[in-house]
Structure 1
Amino acid sequence: MKKVISLLCAGSMMLGLAACGQTTPSGGASSAAGSQAEKPYAGTTLRVVSMTAQVSDGIQEYLSDFEDKTGIKVNLELYGESELRQKTTTEFLSGSSTIDVFLLSPLQDMAPYSKNGWIEPLDTYLDDPELNWSDFTAPKEQITLSGTDSIGCLPLYSSVQLMYYRTDLFEQKGLTPPTNYEELLQVCEKLNDPSNNLYAIACRGEKIALTSQFSPFLFGYGGSYIKDGKSNIASAESVDAIKFYGKLLGKYGPPGILTTGYSQMTQLFNSGTVAMAIDANALYATLTDKAESAYYDKVGVAPIPEGPTGRQSYKQVVWGSSIYSGSKNKDAAWEFMKFVAGSDVAAYITPKGMPSFRSSIWNDSRVKDAMSADMVKAYSVINESDTTNPYGLPRLTSVTEARDAIGEAVVYSIETKGEGKEIEAKAKTAADKVDQLLKNSNEYGDKYSY
């Protein structure tokens, strides 16, 4: 259900009417001119459509400040994710939408929205010193309009991988968080204690769910899902990653790892079954929830370990804000865009599991005071890390089918602890299936446009 927030209160209306009836005092003309220069868009009304909760909570927290500063009135409409996508698509297709600013999920929406011409290019705005564009670390590939180098949205927050660990167990063993794959295996060997129902590590092992969290290991070995429009999962580097992931979970993972997805990851850590977990930043809130976890106060956080090609956590732009190309208030809309991507909203949402792409946010006292020091450090390290592939999933139309095919090869590796004789053959079978999917959707070879 839509939630509309009207931010012009009756009291303000009465004050405005009263002011209209007063005689302008001496010097009033120059004061009015000065005010107009300070608030060039005063009196403009913007229509903004956004997501319920999430970043919108931060918007609402500071929206009255924005309106006071700019004189712009904002009508903010809040929808669930599917409703938001349906709303913008339906209105934009009609050609008569009055939307000025909207939120979108770049990974899903950027290509179709930009191909339809619904997104205003932001390049002419990015030099605005109030934005400080150089402060953003989002992968440009995720926020550019399809087929161009033009920026189509301002990135609001990311999804990244983190390593969670039991601080009490690490202290007992005199261990520090591993920084590379070799150290990771060494730490697993010291922590693994199946006789006492304690296993060293959990990562996702369910066939389809695992691909998003297998990605950092794939990229860490220099592999990739697709290269030059063809499947690359059977390359030597990709196979090395499959073997390592299989060894890690096959030797040191808990029973039932092959059915482990997002929900099971939290259960394994919260119950004390595993000493470490590598997964998305979204897990943190549940792992540290006293009502959910027996070890809520013993959760350490560290950057994921580096592979042979470095630390390769993908940085996915979960949500961004864009200006509708048909807006009649584009300059005023840009003022709102700067506000949404600004430090106030960023400092509000980052401690709530929505880490900003602004580098400066990790030195913001509001963030430091609200988050553990190791969490701030982990986010900061990953935020500044380069990655060879910013996307955590294979990019093609039939992504679910591709994940299923790739997952079969990885599952076999887990079952055989990374030593199965058919790992290369399973990877080749997966590659053939992905290539066929690419051909079926006319995306194979030089027709690949992602």
Structure 2
Amino acid sequence: MTLTRALPLTTLAAAIAVASHVQADTQTLRVATVNNNDMVIMQSLSDEFEQAHPDIELDWVVLEENVLRQRLTTDIATQGGQFDVMTIGTYEVPIWAERDWLVPLTDLPEEYEVDDLLDTVRDGLSQDGELYALPFYGESSMLYFRTDLFEEHGIEMPEAPTWEQVHDWASQIHDPENEQFGICLRGKPGWGENMAFVSTLVNTFGGRWFDEEWQPEINSAEWQEAISFYVDLLGNYGPPGASSNGFNENQALFSSGKCAMWVDATSAAGRIYNPDESEVADRLGFSQAPVAETPKGSHWLWSWALAIPSSSENQEAARKFLTWATSREYIELVGETEGWTSVPPGTRTSTYEDERYIEAAPFANFVLTAMQNADPTDSTLKPSPYVGVQFAGIPEFQAIGTQVGQMIAAALTEQMSVEQALDSAQRSTERTMRQAGYYD
């Protein structure tokens, strides 16, 4: 029989006091992020951060993209203080920074190597030359395709494909009886969902959101041609229920071999080239995003980034987490634990100089070039008054883009004609812009 001696009351009281003191000194960071693969990896590796910072605990709120944006916009606009770290992008950062809603990220530690950040990404997350968010990953857009299906149909992918060619290829390869669809594209409504893709399509058809006097041009001939093309292409050669598919849904479809082509974010490349994640990793090709009338604005520029809202009461602890999750050391951690195709792309020059990444990721230099060549200040054939490739960088765009996205989805599902959808979108956008004071 083993006897356990009870602690003296004074010792027990001291232990409780120490535990209470440690608990009281622990800060809980509420981190809001999107349910994309790179962020899921970040959450899975966050034990490393907590072990290095025993006084900080992370409370994760992981949401679908449209829901995340709605929650964060409401919280930041009301200074609700629900979150200490927000996952936002190149659209929100300059707008929110200008309103003093974000904490400026000045005097970053030398070991963070801020000059290693890609210039285009760093510029997009700055306001008046000052960083207000740190990039977790960056992306442009590109065309993915199944090399085996192209060979089977005698199709050769050119360096710069056109949308007319894509339409022709999709019609040849489409085989719905065998769950083989000609193309997958975003259909889920939302300014950052279907409209991220649709905006680039409209750009390359020669369209723009606004003229130089801020008058909407959504029912212009260029928009009519682009959206008619989109509805025909995806309606005839896409998967069933395409209006419900966003980035994650299409990535799953493509990875499982059900799409012959997919035009979407370059950030998907790491996952669909990973044989542990993708059934088509050994039959995968890529090319530039297709063009119609002009290559201007055919591929977007975006960064998902981490920022600290000014309403946070834990700003110093949040700053420690931001610099950890966007550091070279974090990229090394992901490479060593998850594989080098899984590292967050599009943020640091050093990633694209690392032989381990270059060897594992045949798309690396292609993605880097696409990101460096995307120009948010010159993304339309005719001059436009806004900055942005797949969005217009004004506060009103979030509501406008989402509303227009709903109209486009209604045309895709044949609830209304393309002409009706665009006329309705034009009227609602004119009303929003007039109420915002852009014109009388």
Quickly name the TM-score band, shorter chain normalised: 0.5 to 0.7
Q: Retained in 2: the 8 A contact 1:159–1:317? A: yes
Distance 1:46-1:118 versus aligned 2 partners, 3 A rule = farther
Distance 1:433-1:311 versus aligned 2 partners, 3 A rule = closer
Tell me the equivalent position of 1:130. 113
Q: Shift of the alpha carbon at 1:345? A: 2.1
1:231 is paired with a residue of what secondary structure?
coil
Q: Which runs of 5+ in 1 are unaligned?
A: 1-44, 416-421
Q: Shift of the alpha carbon at 1:433? A: 2.4
**1:428 matched to 2:408:** no
Q: Which runs of 5+ in 2 are unaligned?
A: 1-25, 34-39, 335-339, 380-386
Q: Retained in 2: the 8 A contact 1:178–1:305? A: no
Tell me the equivalent position of 2:146. 166
Tell me the equivalent position of 1:42. none
Distance 1:222-1:344 versus aligned 2 partners, 3 A rule = farther
Q: Matches of 2:321 and 2:249 in 1, distance apart?
A: 40
**1:381 matched to 2:363:** no
Q: Matches of 1:293 and 1:130 in 2, distance apart?
A: 34
**1:372 matched to 2:361:** yes
1:163 is paired with a residue of what secondary structure?
strand
Aligned residues: CA RMSD = 4.8
Q: Retained in 2: the 8 A contact 1:166–1:275? A: yes
Tell me the equivalent position of 1:344. 329
Give me the TM-score of the superposition, normalised by structure 2. 0.65
Q: Matches of 2:58 and 2:120 in 1, distance apart?
A: 28
Output one character per residue of 1:334-388: Cα deviation in whole Å (capped at 9) or x when no partner: 777555433222355583374232233222234234x431x32442232222232
**1:280 matched to 2:265:** yes
Q: Retained in 2: the 8 A contact 1:202–1:278? A: yes
2:120 is paired with a residue of what secondary structure?
coil
Q: Matches of 2:130 and 2:439 in 1, distance apart?
A: 22
Tell me the equivalent position of 1:239. 224
Which stretch shifts more, 120-129 or 211-220?
120-129
Tell me the equivalent position of 2:59. 78
Tell me the equivalent position of 1:213. 197
Distance 1:60-1:195 versus aligned 2 partners, 3 A rule = closer
Q: Shift of the alpha carbon at 1:62? A: 7.1
**1:104-115 correspondence to structure 2 within 5 Å:** 104-106=87-89, 110=93, 114=97
Q: Retained in 1: the 8 A contact 2:243–2:412? A: no
Tell me the equivalent position of 1:313. 299
Q: Matches of 2:367 and 2:333 in 1, distance apart?
A: 15
Q: Shift of the alpha carbon at 1:203? A: 1.6
Q: Matches of 1:293 and 1:124 in 2, distance apart?
A: 41
Question: Which has the greater radius of gyration?
Answer: 1
Output one character per residue of 1:162-218: Cα deviation in whole Å (capped at 9) or x when no partner: 322112123342523552315733761684354975543222345665333222212
Q: Retained in 1: the 8 A contact 2:32–2:85? A: no
1:200 is paired with a residue of what secondary structure?
coil
Tell me the equivalent position of 1:397. 399
Matched positions, count: 377
Output one character per residue of 1:280-339: Cα deviation in whole Å (capped at 9) or x when no partner: 356557756768865453233444234513353222222223485888987x98777555
- Alignment-mate amino acid for residue 192 of structure 1: I
Q: Matches of 1:423 and 1:329 in 2, distance apart?
A: 48
Q: Matches of 2:120 and 2:425 in 1, distance apart?
A: 33
Distance 1:320-1:230 versus aligned 2 partners, 3 A rule = farther
Distance 1:432-1:58 versus aligned 2 partners, 3 A rule = same
- Alignment-mate amino acid for residue 372 of structure 2: E
Tell me the equivalent position of 2:17. none
Q: How many percent of aligned residue pairs carry the same amino acid?
A: 19
